[in-house]
Amino acid sequence: MTQQLNLVWFKRDLLIEDHRPLAMATQAGPALPWYSVEPKYGCNRTYRRS
């Protein structure tokens, strides 16, 4: 029998306190958080917080 693994994709930030899909995934079973670095957004100052 195989076990389900829930994938949660973080698109542009890593906030976890109010991340509803992450909460739902972890309640349903094991979850794998996924974050992919997008260099073009790292250079854009509109996505940076001071």
1-50 per-position pLDDT tens digit: 788 899 999 887 788 888 899 999 999 999 999 988 877 766 656 655 55
| Helix, strand or coil, per DSSP, at residue 22 | helix
Write down the pLDDT at residue 37.
Answer: 80
Write down the pLDDT at residue 40.
Answer: 73
Write down the pLDDT at residue 17.
Answer: 86
| Helix, strand or coil, per DSSP, at residue 6 | strand
Return all residues near 34 (Cβ < 8 A) that are at least 6 apart.
Answer: 7, 8, 9, 10
Write down the pLDDT at residue 13.
Answer: 76
Query: Full-prediction pTM beyond 0.75?
Result: no
- Report which of 29, 31, 37 is spatially closest to residue 12, judged by C-alpha positions: 37
Please state, in angstroms and rounded to a whole number, the distance separating the CA atoms of residues 33 and 26.
Answer: 10
Please state, in angstroms and rounded to a whole number, the distance separating the CA atoms of residues 23 and 45.
Answer: 29
